[in-house]
Amino acid sequence: MGSGEDRTIAGWTLPETRTDATAQFDQFVTENRFTIAVVFPLVGAVTLLASAEGLLPDPLAFNPYFVLFGTFVMRLPLVAGVFPLVDRRAGLALVALTLYSYGIELVGVRTGWPYGEFTYGVDLGPMLLGEVPFGLPVFFFPLVLNAYLLVLLLLGNRAASTAVRLLATLATVMLVDLVLDPGAVAIGFWTYEMPQFYGVPWQNYTGWLLSGSVAVLLFDLGFDRAGLRQRLRDCPFMLDDLVSFVLLWGGINLFYANWVPVGLAALLGAGLLWTDRFDFDLSETRLGRAVWR
């Protein structure tokens, strides 16, 4: 490669190796940790609620590109955490899961199986075949992977048992969806023809058992578990995306008095506190340095 100047763009030095890229990615997330994990979900909750309540004009209300951008930013800690672990096997697992998620969602939209009859209520960005959000993997994958990582931390050595690990992860995935779907229905992301649990049919959760089982199994087969454990030790921010989830969807459910989902979001938050994953010095972040300098 050329000189140092040739590798610098807008003040950023382009990494020469994957190790360099990992270090730069980790540093960026660490320096912006509070903004990513707390500010973005709180702003997201306010803007989504304002959109749902008719307080934001077009094109700001439910702007799909704002939604995708905010979601992508909140995913950065998880992406940074798994980035150095994505080898050929993990890549194949992600490709397989991408194809599966698009396929099962397309079947669901067209037939009502396995999630129940539903329709999208807002524009979630570009649509694959005009029917399935192209950004679906960005929405779906982290929900499962966050659950998997949380289980690894909470169970410790007990997670060495495949049956215990997979069943506990699937249970956590279901817990996540019991928070997500009622909140999404409340703000109008999608609607079901047979509302039962806070607007969500029970059939939806049997569908999540299927999709969640496939996703959990593919993540378990695709990623090196020892490598994930090591990255969890090295990256205190790796579960910050789950922090964002609790703040965003817990806050939305709280606004609409969806008390059971609120309690379940609090349970996820308690799990995060138990793992001691979000106790950090604000002065390490750019926001902290700006306030206390």
Judged against a pLDDT cut of 90, whether residue 187 lies above it is answered with: yes
Nearest to 267 by CA among 172, 202, 199: 172
Judged against a pLDDT cut of 60, whether residue 17 lies above it is answered with: yes
The pTM (predicted TM-score) of the whole model is 0.91
- Rounded CA Rg of the chain: 19
Confidence of residue 285 (pLDDT cuts 50, 70, 90): low
Residues 6+ apart with CB under 8 A from 199: 182, 185, 186, 191, 192
Summarize the confidence of residues 160-173 as an average pLDDT: 96
Looking at residue 6, its pLDDT comes to 57
- Decide: 284 and 276 in contact? Cβ < 8 Å: no
Q: What is the mean pLDDT of the chain?
A: 91
Summarize the confidence of residues 126-141 as an average pLDDT: 93
Looking at residue 281, its pLDDT comes to 57
Summarize the confidence of residues 107-112 as an average pLDDT: 95
Confidence of residue 1 (pLDDT cuts 50, 70, 90): very low
Write down the domain spans for the chain.
14-290
Whole-number Å distance between alpha carbons of 113 and 11: 50
**What pLDDT, in 10s, does the model give residues 29-76?**
999 999 999 999 999 999 999 999 999 999 999 999 999 999 999 999
Confidence of residue 13 (pLDDT cuts 50, 70, 90): confident
Looking at residue 10, its pLDDT comes to 52
Looking at residue 7, its pLDDT comes to 64
Confidence of residue 9 (pLDDT cuts 50, 70, 90): low
